[in-house]
Amino acid sequence: MTLNEAVKAVKPLYQLAMEEARTRWNSIAKPLYSLGLLEDAVVRIAGITRSSKVMLGKMGVTVFCADNGVVEEGVTQTDQETTAIVTENFTKGCTSVCHMAAIAGAQVIPVDIGVARNVTGTGLRINKIAYGTQNMTKGPAMTKEQAVQALEVGINLALELKKQGYGILATGEMGIGNTTTSSAMAAVLLRKDPAEVTGRGAGLSSAGLNRKVDAIRRAIALNRPDPNDALDILAKVGGLDIAGLAGVFLGGAAVELPVVIDGFISSVAAFTAVQLCPGVREYLLPSHQSREPAGKLMLSALGLEPFLNCHMSLGEGTGAVAVLPLLQMACRIYHEMSTFHEIAMENYIEQK
């Protein structure tokens, strides 16, 4: 499926299924709306899947791995080899998200979309668009053609996983330097000064943070990305991992598959998908509020309220995976708890 085909395939949420799901929640023998955002999530999933019989089923975590040329500017604490090492570790089940996914019952699906060297491992998907992006302080990070290719990798991965029976996807990424690219995109998308949306990433010193902000300012000044053109922003100051993630959000919406946002980087990808296709916004599920400065800003811009605030900023999809058991618990109550009628108890009535 092409980018244009995915955009055209996105439909509004199915309101009848959402109404049926809300009616079911209100019939369950508990105080009305007492599970808060979890109830809202089940209702939204009903609208996404076009059925009030909400079952998450098979769960996956798509982790897009890519390098970023901007690391040449001293914006990170470690070098690009870390991206390759961690990418291969996903296939060995020994990263943070792998351990969390094992508890949640989710399958980790790593994708090499732009690691700076060849990587291998059982289950690793090789969709390498380039061996990392270019240094955005010296020119565009990638061509628009490469950005579209990366978007379509994500779109078609979502389609493939839907066909394989996955009922919900979490999103994750790995790429040294990608808090720099995501901060650059956030600055343009939200029309903010880079200092407002840029954090220390994986433990930068104050001097390192200053270099990072300066690099972002120089990249934006040089490339002049159009704030009204998400594809232009993505190509000029973004990353291949962000593009792949944005594609998953688009593809998920196109095939009615719920997709959970992880942290800051994932939310930038989600915002990019919404800019490319406004209908995607209804299909997004939040997870947590990242510790990165723009974490709250991005979720607010998307109109989403996070389930968790654990001050996390690890990436890999860890925040998104942490929410999956909560959604499973909500579905268990939704389907299996007795109704007021079944236990001969008087219904709660909404007070005005």
In sequence order, what are the beta bridge partners of 108?
Answer: 61
Are the CB atoms for 182 and 261 separated by under 8 Å? Answer: no
In sequence order, what are the beta bridge partners of 259?
Answer: 169, 284
Choosing from 39, 256, 292, 316, the catalytic residue is 316
Q: How far is CA 346 from CA 32, 341, 349, in A?
A: 13, 8, 9
In sequence order, what are the beta bridge partners of 96?
Answer: none
Distance of alpha carbon 15 from alpha carbon 50, whole angstroms: 8
Give me the residues of the chain with pLDDT under 70, please. Answer: 351-352
Q: Quote the pLDDT of residue 210.
A: 84
Are the CB atoms for 84 and 66 separated by under 8 Å? Answer: no
Q: pLDDT, tens digit, for every residue of 136-194?
A: 999 999 999 999 999 999 999 999 999 999 999 999 999 999 999 999 999 999 999 99
Q: Quote the pLDDT of residue 209.
A: 84
In sequence order, what are the beta bridge partners of 308?
Answer: 288
Q: Quote the pLDDT of residue 350.
A: 73
Tell me whether residue 316 is one of the annotated catalytic residues.
Answer: yes
pTM (2 decimals)? Answer: 0.96
Residue 348 DSSP code: P
Q: pLDDT, tens digit, for every residue of 225-254?
A: 999 999 999 999 999 999 999 999 999 999
Are the CB atoms for 139 and 218 separated by under 8 Å? Answer: no
Q: Quote the pLDDT of residue 351.
A: 66
Checking 303-312 for CB contacts under 8 A at 24+ apart, the result is 304/261, 305/37, 307/37, 307/38, 307/41, 312/263, 312/288
